Amino acid sequence: FDDLNEWDFDTCFAFIRAIGDAYVEAYLPIVQRRKAQPYTTQQREFQEFRRGRYVEFNLVYDRGTLFGLQSGGRTESILMSLPPQVRWGYDWKAAPGSEEARLTEYFLQDRDWLGLDKAAH
């Protein structure tokens, strides 16, 4: 996202606006359908673990977060987007055969989802 600079401002803005509009349209039905679905302690802990990975990414790699922290920005404002509850675990592994293992093994592997590596060769 930080490198979205190929187009003029109006084109970039229209692109981001279209993403926002599509996101709400796509995500809201999922939330409505699943908002009352019960969850287990194991599922909640996995959610907190994934949120912890998001925090790690933000603090180590996100250019906006790094810039804000390194330039003396207001820490509370910079970190406001982080989730309120997270979990870390040393060398965490999902239980074999669990839904968490399925997610981790299939969706959370490095993958060229857009086929960009093939285009570069």
Residues 53 and 83 in one domain: yes
The radius of gyration of the chain from alpha carbons, rounded to an integer in Å, stands at 18
In this prediction, residue 89 carries a pLDDT of: 86
**Residue 118 in domain:** no
Burial environment of residue 100 by CB neighbours within 10 A (0 to 12, 13 to 18, 19 or more): buried
DSSP letters, 30-98, are: HHHHHTT----HHHHHHHHHHHHHHHHHHHHT-HHHHHHHHTT--HHHHGGGS-S-----TT--PPTTS
pTM over 0.85: no
Give dist(CA 100, CA 118) in Å, integer. 30
- Asked, for residue 65, whether it belongs to a domain, the answer is yes
50, 32: one domain: no
Do 56 and 28 lie in one domain? The reply is no
Whole-number pLDDT of residue 87: 93
Q: At what angle do helices 41-60 and 99-106 cross, to 10 degrees?
A: 30
10-residue mean pLDDT profile of the chain (121 residues): values are 81 92 94 96 93 91 90 90 91 90 87 73 53
Residue 97 domain-assigned? no
